[in-house]
Amino acid sequence: GKSSKPKRGKGKSSKNKTKKVVKDVDILSSAAMLNAHYICHNVPACLELRGFPWPGSPKKKGKRRK
């Protein structure tokens, strides 16, 4: 029989192209601070993750995604 789940094709083309809506996010909110507390190891790492890099900062070393 037929499955109730819709089949999805592989590839980049899609019929419904939607634009992502960028919201202004308060990076000093309590939820953001709690998140930063768990993911940041130090102040420079926190600033880097929040989008404030400084000149001469060490680049991330990690797994490369394909």
pLDDT of residue 8: 64
For residues 49 and 36, the answer to whether their CB atoms sit within 8 Å is yes
C-alpha pair distances (Å), 11 with each of 6, 19, 25, 32 = 16, 18, 31, 34
Distance of alpha carbon 19 from alpha carbon 34, whole angstroms:
29
Residue 57, sorted as left (phi over 0), alpha (psi -120 to 50) or beta, turns out to be beta
pLDDT of residue 21: 78
The end-to-end CA distance of the chain, in Å, is 36
Render pLDDT for 5-63 as a digit per residue (tens, 0 to 9): 666 666 666 566 677 777 787 888 898 889 888 998 888 888 888 888 878 776 766 66
The pTM for the full model equals 0.43
pLDDT of residue 60: 65
